[in-house]
């Protein structure tokens, strides 16, 4: 029998398109319901269950209060900030100026997603930080089957984004939680198949997949992306989504498989 793992990325309330969510992704609730309806009756097929949990402070480099515009106003959510913008005085960090500027430049130099301001979301201790009910049903089924899930928190360092599950966008040499998680990667290497689902396809799923393919190319043929259990953050420029698709196309070229909950057969 194959050793399979289910890797669920950020199935949290704040990303669901439900009332009260801070950063709703259209289609996310249906994605997680679909995943739950597939995973729960097949829970015995999985040796390991992994769940990432976006975990932020209110005061975070990717949240509005960290920044101000040229008039001294707090920067609005969904604002793109580039290094050139900062040098031109269009946007300015309100605190940790040198570190913040260096961070934005590092993102650009390293080919990471450009710096983007989000509504405060997945704040630790809030309802939005909790897993969505359908995702909790998977957790409960795993526990009842004596398959204790592995919980992976990411994003609690306020100086860097942490889209991907395996390292922060810019690692902090003084904070192990931002650095490449070799133990997590090694645990996946022990599997024959790793099913990936979650939110959002355009951000945390895409970056998690990219990190795996870049860091451990030999793992790519073991990865199975469930395309009907993830959705994109809406409303961004078309060129951004083209870049996201390029990440998925590269993963496919390197051996990653793409399935749905209806096409995959155990």
For 161: left if phi > 0, alpha if psi spans -120 to 50, otherwise beta; the answer is: beta
Average pLDDT rounded to a whole number, residues 12-27? 98
Q: Looking at the structure, do residues 94 and 200 belong to the same domain, yes or no? A: no
Q: What is the mean pLDDT of residues 85-90?
A: 98
What is this structure's pTM?
0.96
Same domain, 252 and 138: yes
Q: Is residue 79 part of a domain?
A: yes
Same domain, 106 and 147: no
Chain centroid to CA 188: 17
pLDDT of 1 reads: 77
- Residues 80, 77: Cα–Cα separation, whole Å: 9
* Mean pLDDT on 164-186: 96
Instruction: Look at residue 265 and tell me if it is in a domain.
Output: no
Q: Quote the tokens at residue 76.
A: 């609005």
Residue 8 pLDDT = 98
Backbone angles phi, psi at 93, to 5 degrees: -65, 140
Residue 249 in any domain: the answer is yes
Give me the domain span that covers residue 219.
Answer: 4-55+122-259
**Backbone dihedral region of 78: left (phi > 0), alpha (psi from -120 to 50 degrees) or beta?**
left
Q: Please check whether residues 240 and 155 belong to one and the same domain.
A: yes
- 232-254, pLDDT tens digit by residue? 999 999 999 999 999 999 999 99
- Region 15-31 average pLDDT: 98
* CATH number reported for the structural domain that contains residue 135 in this entry: 3.40.50.850
Q: How confident is the model at residue 207 (pLDDT cuts 50, 70, 90)?
A: very high
Q: Is residue 178 part of a domain?
A: yes
Q: Is residue 264 part of a domain?
A: no
User: Residue 18 corresponds to which tokens in the numbers above?
Assistant: 């439900």
* Average pLDDT of the residues in 34-57: 98
Cis amide bond preceding 83, omega within 30: no
Q: Is residue 175 part of a domain?
A: yes
Asked if residue 112 and residue 208 are part of one domain, the reply reads no
State pLDDT tens for residues 94-137: 999 999 999 999 999 999 999 999 999 999 999 999 999 999 99
- Asked if pLDDT for residue 5 goes beyond 80, the answer is yes
CA dihedral (123, 12, 25, 86) in degrees, to 10, reads: 30
45 with 87, same domain: the answer is no
* Domain end among 116, 133, 151: 116
The secondary structure of 98-129 as a DSSP string is HHHHHHHHHHHHTTPPPEE---S-SBTTSGGG
Same domain? For 192 and 236 the reply is yes
Same domain as 156, residue 51: yes
The count of structural domains within the chain is 2
Among 99, 116, 133, the domain-final residue is 116
Same domain, residue pair 82 and 202: no
User: Do 71 and 164 fall within a single domain?
Assistant: no
| Strand blocks (E) in 16-127 | 48-54, 67-69, 80-81, 91-93, 115-116
> Are 88 and 159 within one domain?
no
**Is 255 domain-assigned?**
yes
CA distance 120 to 126: 11
Q: Quick one: average pLDDT of 197-205?
A: 98
Q: Return all residues near 74 (Cβ < 8 A) that are at least 6 apart.
A: 64, 65, 67, 68
266 inside domain: no
77 and 48 housed in the same domain: no
């Amino acid at each position: 029998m194959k050793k399979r793992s289910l890797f669920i990325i950020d199935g949290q309330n704040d990303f669901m398109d439900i009332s009260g969510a801070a950063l709703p992704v259209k289609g996310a609730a249906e994605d997680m319901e679909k995943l739950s309806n597939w995973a729960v009756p097949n829970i015995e097929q999985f040796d390991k269950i992994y769940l990432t949990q976006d975990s932020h402070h209110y005061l975070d480099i990717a949240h509005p209060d960290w920044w101000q515009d040229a008039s001294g106003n707090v920067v609005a959510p969904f604002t793109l900030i580039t290094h050139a913008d900062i040098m031109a005085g269009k946007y300015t960090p309100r605190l940790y100026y040198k570190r913040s500027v260096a961070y934005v430049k590092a993102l650009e130099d390293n080919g990471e997603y450009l710096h983007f301001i989000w509504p405060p979301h997945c704040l630790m201790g809030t309802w939005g930080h909790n897993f969505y009910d359908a995702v909790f049903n998977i957790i409960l089924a795993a526990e009842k089957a004596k398959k204790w899930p592995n919980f992976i928190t990411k994003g609690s360092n306020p100086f860097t984004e942490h889209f991907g599950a395996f390292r922060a966008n810019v690692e902090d040499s003084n904070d192990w939680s931002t650095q490449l998680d070799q133990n997590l990667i090694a645990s996946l290497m022990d599997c024959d198949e790793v099913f990936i689902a979650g939110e959002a396809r355009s951000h945390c799923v895409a970056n998690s997949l990219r990190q795996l393919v870049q860091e451990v190319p030999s793992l790519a043929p073991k990865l199975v992306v469930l395309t009907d259990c993830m959705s994109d953050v809406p409303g961004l420029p078309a060129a951004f989504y083209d870049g996201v698709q390029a990440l998925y196309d590269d993963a496919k070229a390197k051996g990653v498989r793409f399935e749905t909950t209806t096409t995959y057969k155990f």
